[in-house]
Structures are given as structure tokens and as C-alpha cells.
Amino acid sequence: MTSTASPNNAQSRPGTVFRVVSGNFMEMFDFFLFGFYATAIASAFFPSGDELASLMMTFMTFGAGFLMRPLGAIFLGAYVDRVGRRKGLIVTLALMAMGTLLIACVPGYATIGYAAPLLVLTGRLLQGFSAGVELGGVSVYLAEMATPGRKGFYVSWQSASQQVAVVAAAALGFGLNKWLTPAQVGEWGWRIPFFVGCMIVPVLFVIRRSLQETEEFMARKHRPEVKEIFRSMLNNWALVVSGMMLVAMTTVSFYLITVYTPTFGKSVLHLTTSAALIVTLCVGVSNFIWLPVMGALSDRVGRRPLLLCFSALAILTAYPALHWLVNSPSFAHMLEVELWLSFLYASYNGAMVVALTEVMPVEVRTVGFSLAYSLATAVFGGFTPAIATGLIEYTGDKSAPGWWMTFAAACGLCATLVLYRRQRLRGAETPAEGMAA
């Protein structure tokens, strides 16, 4: 590990950012595909005389992957904090690839019966286990390689890479809907993007293998044993729970405006599939622009002001925006509402991810971040498509998903107040790290 190859070498930083977030792109690409093609997957693996029941089963399988995230955060996170960031990121990519290949290749229910949904569920569980530490590993790596005073900007590229995945998946889906008939997409066309993902994996392995370990980790003299890491997590359980609440706003809004958007556009607003995918693509572009901008702004004004401001705006506007949309559905109105929600999400998340790396104890930074993030995704975000679908069915209110986002934003607001009060009491607030009041 020579210093010339170090991630802290200014000349190598853009390339290092690209290498570290490349696997993060793959993870999100696969997750989005499952949501984008929920209707086709429901028909292939969860046939039912009730279309709603079939769709709900698909979304529950999608959400089941998130239940594995906390386990991945604990076991893989402890591995990363023990042996290094680089090795951990390679392991997570391998597990993600296995899950994607399984989903792409499994025959449908009509061919192998109940084994089909069980194998798809296994693929989702593998993806969820690896994802449990992927975001944390990438975020911690970027935080540790960042230049002083620019940590928010660098860490924001973790989330920005996800938006590239949204754009790529939506663009691929839009192309398939133009080239194939709806029947062809539903029967076999939906598998094509999954195979594309499988073909990208070898390239990503080559890219990630060239990563160097961060200087901050290499300089650390004490590498905690697994039992020390677990003990620290137990001692800091309140911090992990507060971190989970902080992430709730991010994960709910993210899956609401990306994974659930195509289904919402088609099933609720009765727009065309192409229209819903174009909106999703635009949301991904919007997120990609705002995330680094707000990450950089948080370096100047602090994390806390942005977190408070945009969680409050989400509380005030999420439901009214969706209510206006469902009462006047159109492509233009859906685009306007989704871009507003995108702005709220990206502005909050641009400050949130780096804030979460800063509040975690340094010796268990990866497992602490990953556990808080994974619990939030498992409890709140991962089941957002299923919860949104269920809320609409139960209440009869097509804008009911707005209440779910409002609740998540309230969690984020409360967590921000608790965490920064805790930081102030501990005397850990430093403007250089974005902890300005």
C-alpha cells in the first residue's frame, strides 16, 4: 500500500470515489429492478386470482430482503471494522452478485411450482445481507478519504451513485417498453435488465480490487475483536436507535420516489408505464444533482440546520403534494410532485449520511452506521411499497402514502434534535466536521 496509491492522494481522489461507489451502483440497480418490474415478477412467481394479493406478495418479498440487512450490518460490519474497508467492499459485491444471478435465472412458478418464489426469496435475502454493510462501508470509506472541511461533499457521492442506478434502470426499462410488447415484457423481457446487471459484475470486481485501504484505518493501532464490537454496540444502543430514526426520513422518501413510483403511476394514477419510468428517470437525475450540492452546503452551514429544515418541510408538504396529484393526475403533475419530493429527500440526505458517520464511535464506525441504516431500512423504508399499497387499499385514500412519508420525516426531525443535543452535551460539536448549530 504505497502512499502514491493512497486514497488520500489528491490526484487519485476522483478515481477512488468512482471505484468505491461502483459496487454501490450495482446494489441499487438490482434493488430498483425488483421494484420496477414488480407487476411482472408478481405474475411470474406469485400467481394469484387476486392481482392486489399477488402484488402485495411481491412487495413483501422485496421487503424481506431488508430484514436481512441488520444481520449483514452486524456480521459483515464487524468484519469490515476488523479487517479493513477494501476487503469488506469486495465481499459485499460478491454476495450481491450471487443474489442477482439467482433472481435472473430462476424459472417461473408455472415451470417449477413453489420452488420459484422460494428461490426468488433466497436471492432477495442474499442481496439484503450484502446490502446491510454496503452503504455503511462505502460511506465510511469516503468519510475517511475526504479532505478536511469537505467530508459532506465526498460522502454524498455514496447516495449520488444510487441515483445513477435509478437513471440506468429506468432508462433500460423505458427502452424495453418501446422495443417489446407488454406481453413480452411480462413474460420474459423483465429478465433482461437482471442479466445486464450480471454482465456488469466482473467489471466491478476488477474496479474494486484496485482500491487501496484508507490511511485512517491503516494508521489505527487497535483493531477491535468481534466481541469488543458487539459490546460497543450494546453499550451504544441508544445511539443506534437514534441513528435509525435519523435515517427513517431518507429511506422512506427514497423508496417512495424511486422504487414505488412506477407502480404508483400505473396502478393508482393510471398513467402509462413509459410515463412513470420517465418520471423515475427525472427523479434520479434530480437526486444526483442535489445530493452533492447539499452535501457541500452542509460542510459550510452544518448538518443540523439542513436536517431540521428539510424534515420540517417534508412534514408540512408531503401529504398535500400527493393529495393534489391524485385529484389532478397527469404526467406533468406527477413530475412536479416527484421532483419536489426529490428535492426534499436529496437535501436532507446530503447532510444525513455524513452526519451518521460522525456520530458513531470511530472504532465501530462501519458496524454502527450500517446497523442504524439497516434497521431503518428494515423497519421503515424496505416495506414502503407494501405499506403504501396497503394504506391506499385500507383507507381508500390514494394519497395515503404521503402520511407515511410525513411520519418518517417526523422521526428524522426528532432524531436530529436528540442526536445534536447529545453531541453538544458531550462537547463533540465541531464546525469543521459540519456540527454547526
CATH code (residue 379) = 1.20.1250.20
Confidence of residue 11 (pLDDT cuts 50, 70, 90): very low
Where do the H-state alpha helices sit in 210-272?
Answer: 215-219, 226-235, 237-257, 261-263
Confidence of residue 432 (pLDDT cuts 50, 70, 90): very low
Number of domains present in the structure of the chain: 1
Confidence of residue 129 (pLDDT cuts 50, 70, 90): confident
In a domain, 269, yes or no: yes
In a domain, 29, yes or no: yes
In a domain, 111, yes or no: yes
In a domain, 169, yes or no: yes
- 238: how many CB neighbours lie within 10 A of its CB? 10
In a domain, 216, yes or no: no
Residue whose C-alpha is closest to residue 322's, from 338, 306, 304:
338
In a domain, 214, yes or no: no
Give the domain range for residue 418. Answer: 13-205+225-433
Residue whose C-alpha is closest to residue 93's, from 150, 35, 138:
138
Q: Which residue has the higher pLDDT, 421 or 58?
A: 421
Q: What pLDDT is attached to residue 10? A: 43
Q: What pLDDT is attached to residue 431? A: 34
Q: What pLDDT is attached to residue 341? A: 96
Cell of residue 88, nine digits: 469488506
What is the Cα–Cα distance from 275 to 265, expressed in whole angstroms?
8
Arithmetic mean of pLDDT over the chain: 81
In a domain, 3, yes or no: no
Hey, what's the torsion of the CAs at 233, 234, 238, 241, to 10 degrees? 60
How many residues in the chain? 437
In eight-state DSSP terms, residue 211 is: P
Does pLDDT of 429 surpass 50?
no
Q: What pLDDT is attached to residue 424? A: 67
Judge contact between 6 and 12, C-beta under 8 A.
yes
In a domain, 288, yes or no: yes
Tell whether pTM > 0.95.
no
